[in-house]
Structure 1
Amino acid sequence: MAKAIKTVSTVVFRIEDLGNDTKRFTLVDQDDWELPPFRPGAHIDVHLDPGLVRTYSLCNEPDDNRRYVFAVKREREGRGGSQFLHDRVEVGQPMSVSLPRGGIALDPKGMNVFVAGGIGVTPFISAIRHLDRRGRSNYVLHWASRGRPVLPDMIASAIEAGRVRVYDTTRQAKPTIREIVGDFTGDGFAACCGPDPMLLAFEEAVASWPEGRKHIEMFIPPKLVAKSDVPPYELFLSASKRHATVTPEIGLLGTLEAMGIDVPVSCGGGICGACRTRWTEGPPIHRDRVLLPEERHNEVIVCVGDCAGSKLVLDL
């Protein structure tokens, strides 16, 4: 039995050119109904064309439940999603998106420290708007931008209140992440989204922190190993009563696709969570950057997953 892909039908309500090769897109229900709810910093898969699905963070707050708003920077050397949105999408155009998933587990009382690079600020804009709407000021955003930042209009009150520090890296040094998070080693929550060097510096700075107090958002999947070094194992699908052997050359996702199992895949690199699947026997090998430790007890991201034993049972 194939796993159903749940999508939401929307239309493009507004497209705004923000400069710096960035556009902001607003999607609404065609009949102005409320859209499915989401958490601060959640993301959606945007179905652009057959076989072209990309994941973007929502930057409006969850209470704004009649819109999905996301911003996209044109990546001229990217995989084609940003160029499609910039060049081919128009106001009034229908667009299917996934149900929102993920989000940021904000600390309700302690300090929330956000570190962003460029367009990586989008999930934190959602989080800041969520906190502001509730009258909470327990956050600070450190935002590095090459030149004039985009999207400051969405967090203007936070900027005016001094809770946002913007670094124009064309004129000043990049923020030192270890110093930023150093004051909160014993308490609080820290999250980062930006280019690889920033993420690496953040990971090193919070390496000793408990998992529940740190969060990383990635918008470019890490490079995958060419071939798995896991020995062959048996794959059993409990819902459809089917089985196959997974070999290193084909891998788990390739085996599922060869079996005709419809698993939604977006990033293909374990960073978006689109292909999260329940498992009941294994244990699986987790290589993703999405699941929390407790979620790994019963879920696996199959695009990068494998099995540590001789048999993996998935609820498919």
Structure 2
Amino acid sequence: MVGPVKHLQLVVRRIDEPVPGVRRLWLADREDWRLPSFRIGAHIDLHLGRHLVRTYSLCNDPQDDRQYVVAVKKEEHSRGGSQYIHETLQAGDVIGVSVPRSGLELSSTLTNVFIAGGIGVTPFISAIRSLERDERENYILYWSSLGPPSLIDMLQPAFSAGRVQLYDTRREDPPHLGSILKQYEDNAKVFCCGPGGMLDAFENLVADWPDDRKHIERFVAPKFVPDANAHRYRVVLAKSGREKEVLPEVGLLATLESMDADIIVSCGGGICGACRTPWSEGPAIHHDRVLTPREREREVCVCVADCSGARLVLDI
């Protein structure tokens, strides 16, 4: 019996740089076969080198099943991913790419509002393109940019129709998030992605909002602080039967890595979902920002997880 596909081998068909410092990649099957479908706002992992796996948002319309498109800003303090993409990766290279996962849940009854800062627009482009294609003009995009808009060509229909409001913070003050949110009150579901300061402010402003009316996408995981009350437990790998004690000062992720467990880690902070793993005994303690309550009943993001029982059995 063949197991699930871990990742695809795709060729970098094309690379461009819509604005300085942002590289856009077109990834496709080498024989132009259709690619696995994806939901709006989905992510893929790029396997860029030995133990270098990074997660990026798909920017193309989900109906576009012959390619995956991602855009990557070169970060000054790169953890390796953006540096590799900007300095090493070339058109024609073949890389490992995960099957797309996750996605955005749009509201069918409320206005969908997207607030993005700079490259933070990437998680929302596929949603906006899909809404535009389906003539669902019930969204507004506020884009606070630290420079020229990098992917405006992918939003051209919405931009031409006046549904994109640009704020170039080189020339004007950024929009006041509180004022934007006050415009919609109970009539919107709001999505936000951008620099850490913007996200922290947004998170504070919507702290009392129902979960189904807000969505935050982070590029950088908040610093994970281990639980001071964590206790020892054993982690068991169900398929091999191997097990090992997890010490509070070591943590689950480092323990799994010492066991050479079959996991993929990208963000290391519970925001991307690359390391989501099935579990069958615990119960698991969840610290991620990815999984829904229902998903947590059977999966756990092991990079920030713990266990409240005597052992955590992972189905790997």
- Taking structure 2 as the reference length, what is the TM-score of the superposition? 0.94
How far apart are the structure 1 equivalents of 2:106 and 2:62?
13
Partner of residue 188, structure 1: 188
Cα distance in 1 for partners of 2:237, 2:52 equals 27
Give, as a single letter, the amino acid of the residue that structure 1 aligns with 2:311: K
Partner in structure 1 of residue 67 of structure 2? 67
Name the SS of the counterpart of 2:11 in structure 1: strand
The structure-2 alpha-carbon separation of the partners of 1:223 and 1:5, relative to structure 1 and needing over 3 Å to count, comes to: farther
Code of the aligned partner of 2:208: S
2-side partners of 1:288 and 1:260: how far apart?
22
CA contact (8 A) 2:286 2:305 kept: yes
Task: Report if the CA contact (8 A) 1:227-1:249 is conserved.
Answer: no
Q: Deviations over 1:148-200 (max 9, x none)?
A: 11110110111111211111011111122222222333243111111111111
Correspondence 1:122 to 2:122: yes
Gaps in structure 2 of 5+ consecutive residues: none
Equivalent residue, structure 2, for 1:139: 139
Q: Which residue of 2 aligns with 1:84?
A: 84
- Structure 1 residue ranges without an equivalent (≥5): none
Q: How does 1:30-41 map to 2 (within 5 A)?
A: 30-41=30-41
> Is the contact made by 1:47 and 1:97 (CA closer than 8 Å) also made in structure 2?
yes
Q: Give the alignment's Cα RMSD to 1 decimal.
A: 1.8
Cα deviation for residue 239 of structure 1 reads 3.5
Aligned to 2:242: 242
- Identity percentage of aligned residues: 54
Quick one: distance in 2 between partners of 1:27 and 1:238? 35
* Structure 2 counterparts to residues 4-23 of structure 1, below 5 A: 6-23=6-23
Alignment partners' CA distance in 2, 1:293 and 1:187: 24
> Matched residues in 1 for 2:261 and 2:110: separation?
44
Q: Is the 8 A contact 2:26 2:70 kept in 1?
A: yes
- Please give the alpha-carbon distance, in whole angstroms, between the structure 1 residues aligned to 2:193 and 2:222: 14
Letter in 1 for 2:177: I
Contact conserved, 1:5 with 1:263, CA < 8 A, in 2? Answer: no
**Residue 28 of structure 1 corresponds to which residue in structure 2?**
28
Residue 107 of structure 1 corresponds to which residue in structure 2?
A: 107
Deviation at 1:4, TM superposition (A): 6.9
Of the structure 1 ranges 214-223 and 277-286, higher mean CA displacement relative to structure 2 is found in: 277-286
Matched residues in 1 for 2:87 and 2:282: separation?
45
| Structure 2 CA distance for aligned equivalents of residues 268 and 300 of structure 1 | 13
Q: How does 1:168-187 map to 2 (within 5 A)?
A: 168-187=168-187
Q: Which residue of 2 aligns with 1:46?
A: 46
Q: Residue 202 of structure 1: SS of its match in structure 2?
A: helix
Q: Deviations over 1:204-256 (max 9, x none)?
A: 12212222222111111222337864111122333333332111122111222
Which range moves more in the overlay, 220-229 or 66-75?
A: 220-229
Match of 1:264 in 2: 264
- Distance apart, 1:5 and its partner CA: 6.6
TM norm structure 1: 0.94
Q: Please give the secondary structure, in 2, of the residue aligned with 1:183.
A: helix
| Cα distance in 2 between the residues matched to 1:291 and 1:226 | 19
Three-state SS of the structure 1 residue aligned to 2:184 is coil
The structure, 1 or 2, with the larger RCO (C-alpha pairs under 8 Å, 6+ apart) is 1
Q: Is the 8 A contact 1:285 1:305 kept in 2?
A: yes
CA distance in 1, matches of 2:4, 2:39: 22
Partner residue in 1 for 2:315: 315
Q: 1:103, 1:92 → 2: CA distance?
A: 28
Question: Given that residues 287 and 305 in structure 1 are in contact (C-alpha distance below 8 angstroms), is that contact kept between their aligned partners in structure 2?
Answer: yes
Which stretch has the larger CA shift, 143-152 or 4-13?
A: 4-13
Counterpart-to-counterpart distance in 2, 1:71 and 1:126: 12
Name the aligned partner's letter for residue 238 of structure 2: S
User: Which range is displaced more, 58-67 or 183-192?
Assistant: 183-192
- Give, in angstroms, the shift of residue 108 of structure 1: 2.4
State the alpha-carbon separation in 1 of the partners of residues 127 and 20 from structure 2: 23
- Matched AA of 1:45: D
Give the whole-Å Cα distance in 1 for the aligned partners of 2:242 and 2:205: 45
Following superposition, the deviation at residue 83 of structure 1 comes to 1.5
**SS at the partner of 2:215?**
strand
